[in-house]
Amino acid sequence: MPDASAEYSIDPAQPAEEIGPQEVGTAGMGPWRLAMRRLRRNKVALAFLALFFVIVGACMAAPLYSKYVADIGPNKNNLTGKVERGGKQVDIVTPDGTPVGPGLSNRYLLGADANGRDVAVRLLYGGRNSLFIGFTAALITTLFAVSLGLMAGYSRGVPDTLIRSTFDILWSFPVLLFAIALGTALAIGGLNLGPIHIEGGSLWIPTLVIGLVYIPYLGRPVRGQVLALREREFVQAAEAQGMGTLRIMFGEILPNIASTILVFSTLIIANNILTEAALSFLGAGVQPPNPSWGTLIAQGVDRLVTAPHLAIVPGIAIVLTVLSLNVFGDGLRDALDPRAKLRLR
Amino acid sequence: MARFAVRRIANMIFVLFAISVLTFLIFYKIPGGDPVLRISGRTAEPAVREQVREDFGFNDPVYVQYARMMQKTLNGSLESYSNRVNVREELIRGIPATASLVIGAAIIWLFFGILFGVLSAVYAGRFPDRVITIVALIGISLPIFWVGALLLYYLTYKVSLFPAGGYVPLTEDPASWLSHLILPWFCLSILFIGFYSRLLRSNMLDVMNEDYVRTARAKGLSERRVLLGHVMRNALIPIVTLFGLDFGAAIGGGAILTESVFGLQGVGQYVAESIGSLDLPPILGTTLYAAFLIVLLSAIVDIVYARLDPRVRLTA
């Protein structure tokens, strides 16, 4: 990055003598536009963002692939059928139970599993579930962490004590242990909380569990930043103008922590996909027969000896997806704030 | 310092209490978690079940049951519902494996995390930095249980380089202990090496822009002394915090995935198995043990932090 130092000299906070007050709107660039410019120059980050969209697009198109290319549903067994491999018809599952491996054909492109199901189709459908959990859980974490963090940091006093203690308690559980405990408990009985009823096998169980356990990881830094920001002059000015609490919180303070939140949300999606895989691997996440990348790996690991493709294929899907998000998130952080620091596992 | 200690200990007790209540309620409320079935067996006569229910006090109010269980937890007589094994003994049995795994892995991840972080910062933007960045980002994108399973498959089944999982005590056979732990160490450290090197790199780049580093250079210190005495000293402080918490969580049973994949029979695997069979007493005992370590280490981290950075005052 040879031009990086030149980049920083265009600091919006620096008083630029040659810019007159009437010209500020055109000559001075806002921090967001500067960030966009830095991001556009980071070709690696953009390439990985593109890769991520390709993966999301492919998973979205799972029903099309299933119907027009592979010609089989994600949960359809096929123990007796045959498939072409190198010009010959071979058993999809041999009589001794070994499924066929990957090969160049429309059907069973990535091989079959022990029930004769098409791995490629299940991979795409599993990806929909994994991505859904990754996104939705990130949304839940962000919404709760930001509103609780804002509330605690801005109001201080009793709400702060309550929210901070809640964060402390959640934080003191080893995160995976807590998620497994909740996931297992809810997967068996389902969730019955007042008007909310969720079936035990629902995708919403792992989504809510993952969304919940990471709240303090964003909530604590948000609270800390808000505590510092609320002492700044612009907040005092807003208070002096008679602005309402909510408007100050969301209109004045929130934009100042938006870049932290944005970077965290990108990285937490990646992290959630890994957590989903870990939970499903331990039986506390997505419940079979629902496919997800985690359950596919879990089923594949048991058959590594006879059919290694069953574990390798979904694992590579996870690595590519998570890597693309991590590289993009890294670039986003550099672009938004070269000094931002986040703690995230 | 005394005030800090008192407030911190009070806070620790509160957090542990809340965690015990939460854990108890989660597993007390779930359907299918009925302890009577675990104690008397699923085929027991209804009369036997009622007798067990009465004898073990499962008809008492929730808070009485909670208090009784906590009393047993604290005096060490807590027993599993399903196999009547003492939880504390089982936990102690798991500690050597977990400690061997976590301490060894921690040395590896600290060494390589710091090494890669420093190289990456010193060569920021140049070739070594790019390579390390790629490696680190791949490292934090790997599902470790998947890596572990593949390593086991290729390095023990295909090529018999390593034993196929399990744990051998150090006192029994040091060579075997080592060969059983190399793959788990590698697996557990990959992720942390990635995080630590990225974090250290960004910390060091921040510190390098500080005035006192420029001053140090200006007064003619060698680059080596600037780096070690001024930059590293400050950039490592956040790493200390992170390390304390990660280490506490892992040794408290957080290395569940690595332990399960390699069958190390440590604390983490014990937790995972207890959760799998919905056995409340071991779950409660191990969760409290883990939470205790996390809370304790975060207090230690705060004290160390204040030692390393004189600008920080201890206020709980």
DSSP per-residue letters across A4-18? HHHHHTS-TTS--TT
**The pLDDT of residue B117:** 93
Q: Smallest Cα–Cα separation from A51: which of A310, A284, A307, A327?
A: A327
**The pLDDT of residue A19:** 44
Question: A41, A161, A173: best mutation site toward chain B, by most B Cβ within 10 Å?
Answer: A173
B95-308: CATH, from 1.10.3720.10, 3.40.50.970, 3.40.50.2300, 3.10.310.10: 1.10.3720.10
Phi, psi of A112 (to 5 degrees): -120, 165
Name every chain B residue with its beta carbon within 8 A of the beta carbon of A274.
Answer: 141, 143
**The pLDDT of residue A17:** 45
Question: B135, B146, B187: best mutation site toward chain A, by most A Cβ within 10 Å?
Answer: B146
CB-based contact A282 B141, cutoff 8 Å = no
Q: Has residue A198 got a pLDDT over 90?
A: no
Phi, psi of A84 (to 5 degrees): -80, 130
Structural contact between residues A320 and A313, judged by C-beta atoms closer than 8 angstroms:
no
| Identity of residue B168 | V
pLDDT tier at A140, thresholds 50, 70, 90: very high
Quick one: average pLDDT of A233-254?
89
Angle at CA of residue B296, ends B290 and B302, nearest 5°: 135
Q: Has residue A292 got a pLDDT over 80?
A: yes
Q: Global pTM?
A: 0.86
The per-residue pLDDT for range A259-268, each reduced to its tens digit, is 888 888 988 9
* Residue that has been written with the tokens 């209109």 in this structure: A251
CA dihedral for A253, A254, A255, A256, sign (positive or negative): positive
Helix A119-155 vs helix A309-336: crossing angle, to nearest 10: 30
Distance of CA B275 to the CA centre of its chain: 17
User: Which residue among A169, A172, A184 places its CB closest to the CB of B276?
Assistant: A184
CB-based contact A172 B295, cutoff 8 Å = yes
Structural contact between residues A173 and B298, judged by C-beta atoms closer than 8 angstroms:
no
**The pLDDT of residue A277:** 93
Contact A318/B at CB under 8 A: yes
User: Which residue among B27, B260, B290 places its CB closest to the CB of A282?
Assistant: B260
Q: How far apart are the C-alpha atoms of A128 and A290, rounded to whole Å?
A: 11
Exposure string of A164-175, with b = 16+ CB inside 10 Å and e = fewer, is bebbbbbbbbbb
Contact B19/A at CB under 8 A: yes
Contact A55/B at CB under 8 A: no
Question: B20, B135, B141, B206: best mutation site toward chain A, by most A Cβ within 10 Å?
Answer: B141
Contact B149/A at CB under 8 A: yes
User: Which residue among A184, A312, A323 places its CB closest to the CB of B138?
Assistant: A323
The token pair that represents A314 in the structure block: 């979904």
Contacts of B172 (CB under 8 A, 6+ apart): none
Name every chain A residue with its beta carbon within 8 A of the beta carbon of B253.
Answer: 174, 177
Name every chain B residue with its beta carbon within 8 A of the beta carbon of A281.
Answer: 143, 145, 257
Q: In angstroms, what separates the C-alpha of B302 from chain A's closest C-alpha? A: 15
**The pLDDT of residue B137:** 92
Q: Where are the domains of chain B?
A: 2-75, 95-308
**The pLDDT of residue A10:** 42
**The pLDDT of residue B316:** 47
Cis omega (within 30 of 0) on the bond before A102? no
CB-based contact A315 B26, cutoff 8 Å = no
pLDDT tier at A50, thresholds 50, 70, 90: very high
The token pair that represents A246 in the structure block: 């909510």
CB neighbours (10 Å) of residue A37?
A: 13
What is the percent of chain B where pLDDT is above 70? 96
pLDDT tier at B31, thresholds 50, 70, 90: low
Give the chain B residue nearest A193 (alpha carbons): B29
Contact A339/B at CB under 8 A: yes
User: Which residue among A176, A182, A311 places its CB closest to the CB of B146?
Assistant: A311
Mean pLDDT, all residues of chain A: 81
Q: In angstroms, what separates the C-alpha of B113 from chain A's closest C-alpha? A: 15
Q: Has residue A318 got a pLDDT over 90?
A: yes
**The pLDDT of residue A18:** 45
Q: Smallest Cα–Cα separation from A345: which of A207, A148, A213, A147?
A: A213
Which CA distances in Å does A269 have to A74, A117, A142? 25, 29, 11
Distance of CA A27 to the CA centre of its chain: 37
CB-based contact B145 A165, cutoff 8 Å = no
Q: Has residue B24 got a pLDDT over 50?
A: yes
Q: How far apart are the C-alpha atoms of A57 and B120, rounded to whole Å?
A: 35
CA dihedral for A264, A267, A271, A276, sign (positive or negative): positive
CB pairs below 8 Å between A and B: how many?
143
